[in-house]
Amino acid sequence: MKKATLFVLTAIVLAVTGCSKTDAPATSGTPNTNSAATTSAAPAANTGSSYDMVAANSKGFTVGALMSAQAVYVLFDPQCPHCGRLWQASLPLHSKAKFVWIPVSFNPTKSLPQGAALLSAANPVETMTAHEQSLLAGTGGMSASADVPEELKQAITNNTQLLNRLGVDSVPFLLGKHRKTGEVVSFNGAMETAALANLLGIE
């Protein structure tokens, strides 16, 4: 029997927008919350295959319960404030699920170097947390060298192309499996910890 896609559109979603390719980078001041992209579930027709595609073809950094069989994939742009909010919401769930954060680049000048720095960080939780705190504070996030190794540049380019192939044009974009039902779940946008736990079937 095919697994159905679980759609969770709840009133406790923190933000109703995500960061799209056309949004200005959040380098200073108040994060942009005027994206035309709305928080929603992923395209229904290919959510299951999308999960497998992301698992097989993306490059990200893994945090949380590293030995957990429940992998949650999050495609994000390092300059996206909504991604920062989802990162903060996910922190209390790190003991219960494995999160793979996959950087894409809508802004090559800043997103690409920051994504590369996050991929190569010795302590990704500490580095990502500090970066997102800076981003949400309106100070542009972490400083990162513009001299990005070719391997990391290609990995982030591939991640961005993968997002395009999924038919998704805004981030954060999450794909996971519900712990109790095994159903593939997906979501575009930020949400609070309780909503994220509910989406993933984590108690």
Q: What is the pTM of this model?
A: 0.81
Rounded Cα distance between 155 and 128, Å, is: 18
The residues with which 101 forms a beta bridge, in sequence order, are: 61, 74
pLDDT at 31: 35
pLDDT at 20: 72
User: Which letter does DSSP use for residue 80 in this model?
Assistant: -
- What domains appear along the chain, each with residue ranges and CATH number? 19-200 (3.40.30.10)
Q: What is the pLDDT of residues 135-193, one digit of tens each?
A: 999 999 999 999 999 999 999 999 999 999 999 989 999 999 999 999 999 999 999 99
Rounded Cα distance between 156 and 149, Å, is: 11
pLDDT of 10 over the 80 cut: no
Kindly indicate the confidence band of residue 36, based on its pLDDT and cuts at 50, 70 and 90.
very low
